[in-house]
Amino acid sequence: MMQLDLFPMELHLRCIEPGKNKYRFYALSVQPTLFGEWVLVREWGRIGRAGRRRHDHYRAAGPACDALHALAQQKKRRGYRG
């Protein structure tokens, strides 16, 4: 039986404001680790350049997806769009 994913495991957002010379990206993804945990990978920076990266570890996929959703909402309030 196949289960449909109701929540995204990967998300790419951009914030582009040419008048302010603002060209930013924010990428989020939830991935399993080799040790049975889950990690929320966040990468951000200026479009066209290497960004910074952060890994947040979780014991289960649910909390990691919840964190992804909360961060996406926060970034959308700050002007980022998918």
Residue 22: per-residue pLDDT? 95
Q: Which CATH architecture has domain 10-77?
A: Single Sheet (2.20)
Q: How many CB atoms lie within 10 A of CB 81?
A: 9
Mean pLDDT of 62-77: 94
Rounded to whole angstroms, what are the CA distances from 28 to 11, 19, 38, 45?
5, 26, 13, 12
Query: In the structure encoding, which two tokens stand for residue 20, read together?
Result: 């302010």
The residues spanned by each domain of the chain are 10-77
| pLDDT tens per residue, range 25-62 | 999 999 999 999 999 999 999 999 999 999 999 999 99
| pTM > 0.85 | no
Residue 5: per-residue pLDDT? 56
